[in-house]
Structures are given as structure tokens and as C-alpha cells.
Amino acid sequence: MKKQLQTFLKYRFLLENLISRDLKVKYRRSVLGLCWSILNPLLMMLIITAVFSTIFRFEVENFSIYYLTGWLIFNFVSESTTAALQSIVNSATLIKKVYIPKYIFPLEKILFSFVNMFFSMIAVAIMIAVACLMGNMQLSWTMLLFPVPMLYALVFCIGFGMLIAAINVFFRDMGHLYSVCVTAWMYLTPIIYPMEALDRAQWVLPIIKCNPLYYYVTYFRDVVMYNTVPGPADNLICIGFSLAFLLLGGWVFKRTQDRFILHI
């Protein structure tokens, strides 16, 4: 463990430079730049709110914030893991030329998305401020706990990202399959609909409750929207999912990384 920590600290500046590079590349030649991290969720919120609160008539209090809190966590997980999936294959040229710990590449993609998520959090803060001014919400100290579910999701993404990045090196169809899986994952996460909407489809509830994002999103909404501090059981479930995938992803990645060079 000490050796791995020393190696990580040795390459931390490379990690920082890669994250900085991705931020610059993403917003290169964009007039609004980082503002798109705020505008994008707000514009999506307007469309989704118009459709689902009027046409489909989901009775959810503060629906715009309900959607944004779910979208924020899900978008981070889907964006970061999708980027991590291709990180080893896309870095083949660099991996073949110089020695760099291979986990740096999926880790960088996930941390980049994590930084981007914090910019998007401004959109949530804006909508909460509007709701408070209109008297639809009240500020609470529990909102200060918002980083907790984000960190749970981060640890989960690091493990899951390394797992699928390793699989993709040997099984390139993983990239095509994963895009379909992400779509299914979105519908199995209560981003748009309330859980009460599933009263007539009880069979799907056990599937949803096997979804780690269900717990991260619920935790995030509890502290941000409902002024509730999740209990020990909720925290243990979130920690359990995060650590399980971190250990699994780390183990698979470590066992297979020496053979990456033969397949990229």
C-alpha cells in the first residue's frame, strides 16, 4: 500500500495536468466556456419540467429541483464511466512510449467529470435560491452535507470505471453495449419520475433497489431538498456499494493491466 501511495504521489502532477487539459479541450473555442456546465442542466431542466410536469403530470413538489438533483448524480456517473471505458484504448500511443501507471487514465477521466459536476452544482444552487425566494423551500443546515453522496458516487465510479476500462481492452464491443446499458440505467434511476409512480409496477422495485444510483440520488435529495439526514443503514448501503465496486474494479484492473500492451 505504501509503494502504491508513493507512486500515486509521484504522478499526481501528471493527473492534475491531464484534468486541466481536458477542461481546456472541452470548452475550447466556446464563447461561454465553463458557463455551459451551468446552462446545460438549467436548459434541460426547463424542457423536462415542461414535459413531465404538464403533459405527464407527475405530482412532485419542486419538480425542477427534483429533476436537477437526480440529473446531477446520474450525469456524473454516466459521463465519467463512459469516458473511463475508453481511457486505456484511447491512450494506447502514450502507454506504449513511456511508463505511466495505467490506472491514471480512467482515474483522470472520473476526476475530470467530478470537477465538472461541482460547476453544475451551481445550477442546483440557483434553483434552490429561487425556490426559497418564492417560499417553496427553506434553507437547512443539512444542505451542507451535499458532498457526502457525491463522494460515495465518486468512489463507486473509480471502481466501476477501472472495471469496464479493463474489460474494454479485451472486449471492444463493451463500448457499444455500455451505451445501451446507460440508457436502461437512466430509466431504472428515479431521475424524472417519483417512486410512487411505480405503484402499479411493483415487480420493478427490487431491480431499482439493486441500483447504487438509487441510493446516491435519494441521499442527495434527502439532504438538499427534504432537510433529512439519512440514517446509518442508508450510509452503510452507500458505502457498501462504493467499496464493493472499488475493490472489484481495482482487483480486476491490477490482474489484467500487464496484458493491456498486447491488446491496445
The candidate with the shortest Cα–Cα distance to 158, out of 88, 98, 111, 100, is: 111
Confidence at residue 239, expressed as pLDDT on a 0 to 100 scale = 96
Share of the chain above pLDDT 70, in %: 88
Confidence at residue 81, expressed as pLDDT on a 0 to 100 scale = 95
Do the Cβ atoms of 229 and 222 come closer than 8 Å?
yes
Q: Count the residues in the chain.
A: 264
pLDDT at residue 250 tops 90: yes
pLDDT at residue 57 tops 60: no
The 10 Å CB-count burial string (b at 16+, else e) for 231-250 is: eeebbebbeebbeebbeebb
pLDDT at residue 69 tops 60: yes
What tens digit of pLDDT does each residue of 181-231 get? 999 999 899 888 888 777 777 888 888 989 999 999 999 999 999 999 999
Confidence at residue 243, expressed as pLDDT on a 0 to 100 scale = 96
The three-state DSSP-derived secondary structure of 15-55 is: HHHHHHHHHHHHCCCCCCHHHHHHHHHHHHHHHHHHHHHHH
What tens digit of pLDDT does each residue of 83-111 get? 999 999 988 888 888 888 889 999 999 99
Binned at pLDDT 50, 70 and 90, residue 63 comes out as confident
pLDDT at residue 53 tops 70: no
Residues 6 or more apart whose Cβ sits within 8 Å of residue 126: 38, 42
Top mean pLDDT of 39-48, 64-73, 94-103, 246-255 is at 246-255
Average pLDDT in the chain: 85
Mean pLDDT check: name the lowest of 34-48, 117-131, 165-179, 199-213: 34-48
The candidate with the shortest Cα–Cα distance to 144, out of 127, 123, 121, is: 121
pLDDT at residue 163 tops 60: yes
| Distance linking the first and last C-alpha atoms of the chain | 28
Confidence at residue 218, expressed as pLDDT on a 0 to 100 scale = 95
pTM, entire model: 0.89
The candidate with the shortest Cα–Cα distance to 264, out of 50, 35, 95, 62, is: 95
Cα separation, 22 vs 170, in Å, equals: 26
